Amino acid sequence: MSEQPANDAQLRAHAEAWRKATLEPERAKKGERRPQFTTRSGIPVEPLYTPLHLDGFDYERQLGFPGEYPYTRGVDPNMYRSQLWTMGQYAGFGSAEDSNRRFKLLVEKGGTGFSIALDLPVQTGRDSDDPRAMGEVGKVGVALNSRKDMEALLDGVPLSKVRQIRTTANSVGNILLAYFCCAAEAQGIAPTSFNVLLQNDPLKEYIGRGTFIYPPRAAIRVTADVMAYCAEHLPNWTSVNVSGYHIQESGATAPQEIAFTFCHAKEYIDATLQRGVAIDAFAPSIWVFFSAQMDLFEEVAKFRAARRIWARMMKEHYGARNPRSMALRFLTFTAGSALTAQQPMNNIIRVTIQALAGALAGTQTLHACSFDEALALPSEQAVTMSLRTQQILAEETGVTNTVDPLGGSYYVESLTNRLEEEALAIMEKIASLGGAVEAIEKGYVQQELGNAAWQQQRAIDRKEQIVVGVNQYVVPEQLEIGLFNQDPKVYERECEKLRRLRVERDADRVRRSLDRLRKDAEGTANIVPATLDAIRNCATVGEVCGILREVFGEWRDPGII
């Protein structure tokens, strides 16, 4: 014990001598391009990290072992040595039949999961023939107006053989749950025979993407109803995938991404607990959806810090006892905001680095963007390249051979600690405001994101942050890649399908099921069974959401008003 202080003193003296001998002369040079080095989030980066940066470091408390609390090093003892991450792509466009062909292509080429992109009318609870849907039908995702469309979308797709199916159902999580159940019935299999990951996270819509429908507190009710229903009937489904991705895409720093995401998760958890569901009955099914940006080491540290914060939150705040409740499982999506329309082939390299961050940090599921997404919906060539990027990382690089390969790095551990501290401070601030909903209603989160986005853009404008092909290494170019072209007749076809559906279905059964939904929504009953009944009877997404709009009201962004 007496030797340690002497060794620390010697190391400190050596570090100081090294600094004076090497750094001070370097700083004196004129014309230094980057006088201050920081992470993408603005955290200062030292020129060298030593044990002195981990003063008081407690291995058991801060790291531990993979598969053990606090899960900093991963949620599974063997990680990718026993099973690779789920590889999938985000896809969906045009009609259900159009997207069905794309999903079959991805599975054929070795994809082990996929995510269904919904068009904006569906995400905001509108049918394709709603006047407000014109111009958006099938544009950024697939049009799924009724269960018939979902059945066509998944026709011939071996649901029970795909490891994970995901969708961006945030304000319409109850409807997508019903769609998946109906698709399973159409294939003659049980819904529990395959794994579904429902995003079902409306809170980030008020600060990020904007596809909200109801006021925040009503939206939380819908989410909690889905979580409670899944806990009882669909325990292998992911009932909520709380998204930091869209928060980060709106400008968040790494600590903000963690903090805002976990504060949203707490709102959903609290609402589900109020329904009398035990924490360990539903917490194991919660996933988180993170972005992977370009700062490789900060992103790895972010994921590791998030696991540690989650584990302690679940154990110390919620009293969870099931280790699976404390082990954070997350989906990583490479950053769409980092893609550039200029020199688009460079995006292949960007996506590779971002995917590498997810792999090094132990993600469970990984989506890789396509190099042409800054210009159009991905082409078949581009989505194939994105899938191959993941496969090469997994099979050829050696990153899957050991668990947490960057663990123990003085820099990574120091950065992990710093991100944890900053994220917890933001979470405490939100708690002092009354929680995530209060923070949204007061505009605190929106303002913080706006400030962070402005700082990042200013760094690019000043060339403090280099983006190759945008503010440095710019060259005249001609685009020579084949872009995806969408069928312009999608809108007309979807409207015609809806017309036929309304003629052929049993109108009385639809009306009765919607009346039941209204009654349950006006009371305190879980709305999922009534939603299932309505969807089975071929009620449309617009009709179901129309009833809930009448009961809950609609949200109007105060920033826009």
Q: Read out DSSP for 412-455?
A: HHHHHHHHHHHHHHHHHHHHHTTSHHHHHHTTHHHHHHHHHHHH
561 in any annotated domain: no
Distances (CA, A) of 159 to 22, 184, 195: 60, 8, 8
Instruction: Kindly state the percentage of the chain with pLDDT values over 70.
Output: 96
pLDDT at res. 105: 83
Q: What is the pLDDT of residues 215-274, one digit of tens each?
A: 999 999 999 999 999 999 999 999 999 999 999 999 999 999 999 999 999 999 999 999
Check: CB of residue 67 under 8 Å from CB of residue 77. Answer: yes
Average pLDDT over residues 33-47: 85
Q: How confident is the model at residue 379 (pLDDT cuts 50, 70, 90)?
A: confident
Cβ atoms of 309 and 258 within 8 Å: the answer is yes
> How high is the pLDDT of residue 544?
98
Write out pLDDT tens, residues 426-485: 999 999 999 999 999 999 999 999 999 999 999 999 999 999 999 999 998 777 777 777
Per-residue confidence (pLDDT) for residue 223, from 0 to 100:
98
3-state secondary structure 129-159: CCHHHCCCCCCCCECCCCHHHHHHHCCCCCH
Closest CA to 498 of 90, 121, 101: 121
Low-confidence winner among 55-64, 125-134, 135-144, 482-491 (lowest mean pLDDT)? 482-491
Residue pair 115/88 in contact by the 8 Å Cβ criterion: yes
HEC string of 207-239? CCCCCCCCCHHHHHHHHHHHHHHHHHHCCCCEC
Query: Residue 175: which H helix or E strand, with range?
Result: helix 173-187
Of 23 and 476, the structure prediction assigns the larger pLDDT to 476
Q: What is the mean pLDDT of residues 304-322?
A: 98
As a whole number, mean pLDDT of residues 151-177 equals 90
At residue 357, the 3 state secondary structure works out as helix
Query: For the stretch 198-229, what's the b/e string if a residue is b when 16 or more beta carbons lie within 10 angstroms of its beta carbon?
Result: bbbbbbbbbbbbebbbbbbebbbbbbbbbbbb
Q: Kindly state whether residue 152 falls inside one of the protein's structural domains.
A: yes
Q: What is the pLDDT of residue 3?
A: 41
Residue 1 pLDDT level (bands cut at 50, 70, 90) = very low
Asked if pLDDT for residue 117 goes beyond 50, the answer is: yes
For residue 546, what pLDDT band results from cuts at 50, 70 and 90? Answer: very high
Burial environment of residue 230 by CB neighbours within 10 A (0 to 12, 13 to 18, 19 or more): buried
Tokens of 197: 């990951």
Question: Regarding beta strands 86-91 and 113-116, do their DSSP bridges make them parallel or antiparallel, or are they unpaired?
Answer: parallel
Grade residue 558 by pLDDT with cuts at 50, 70 and 90: low
> In this predicted structure, what is the pLDDT of residue 531?
98
Residue 107 has pLDDT above 90, yes or no: no
In a domain, 90, yes or no: yes
Give a yes or no: residue 243 inside a domain: yes
Check if the beta carbon of residue 262 is closer than 8 Å to that of residue 276.
no
Q: What's residue 27's pLDDT?
A: 60
pLDDT of 378 > 90? The answer is no
- Give Cα separations from 196 to 163, 237, 239, 449 (angstroms): 9, 5, 8, 31
Span of 223-232, 305-314, 378-387 with lowest mean pLDDT: 378-387
pLDDT reading at 486 higher than 80: no
Task: Put the strands of the sheet holding 113-116 in their side by side order.
Answer: 196-198, 164-167, 113-116, 86-91, 365-367, 329-334, 286-292, 240-243
Tally of CB atoms within 10 A around 558 = 12
Check whether 88 has a pLDDT greater than 90. Answer: no
Number of structural domains (the chain) is 1
- CA dist 15 and 209 (Å) reads 47
* Residue 339 belongs to a domain: yes
In a domain, 11, yes or no: no
Which of 110-114, 224-228, 274-278, 482-486 comes out lowest in average pLDDT? Answer: 482-486
Reported pTM: 0.93
Q: What is the 3-state secondary structure (H, E, C) of 268-298?
A: HHHHHHCCCCCHHHHHHHEEEEEEECCCHHH
Q: What share of the chain is helix, strand, coil (3-state, %, to 5)?
A: 55, 10, 40
Query: Is 410 contained in some domain?
Result: yes
pLDDT at 372: 92
Q: How far apart are CA 557 and CA 561, in angstroms?
A: 6
Mean pLDDT of all residues in 303-327: 98
Q: Dig out the tokens for 441 from the structure.
A: 């209603």
pLDDT band at 425 (very low <50, low <70, confident <90, very high): very high
Please identify which residue in the block is written with the tokens 């544009």: 139
The per-residue pLDDT for 2 is 36
Comparing 25-34, 515-524, 528-537, which segment has the lowest mean pLDDT?
25-34
d(CA 356, CA 261): 22
pLDDT at 12: 87
Q: Which domain holds residue 264?
A: 60-72+80-461
**Residue 417 sits in a domain of what CATH number?**
3.20.20.240
Percent of the chain with pLDDT over 90: 78
| Number of other CB atoms surrounding residue 104 within 10 Å | 15
How far apart are alpha carbons 221 and 188 in whole angstroms? Answer: 31
30 has pLDDT over 70: no
pLDDT category of residue 28 using cuts at 50, 70 and 90: low
Examine residue 204 and state whether it is found in any structural domain, yes or no. yes
Give 97-134 as a DSSP string: HHHHHHHHHHHHTT-SEEEEPBPHHHHTT--TTSGGGT
Per residue, the 3-state secondary structure of 464-500, as one string, reads: CCCCECCCECCCCCCCCCCCCCCCCCHHHHHHHHHHH
Look at 118-127, 342-351, 414-423, 482-491 and tell me which has the smallest mean pLDDT: 482-491
* Mean pLDDT for all residues in the chain: 92
* Residue 89 per-residue DSSP state: E
What does the pLDDT read at residue 101? Answer: 86
Give the pLDDT confidence score for residue 561 in this predicted structure: 42
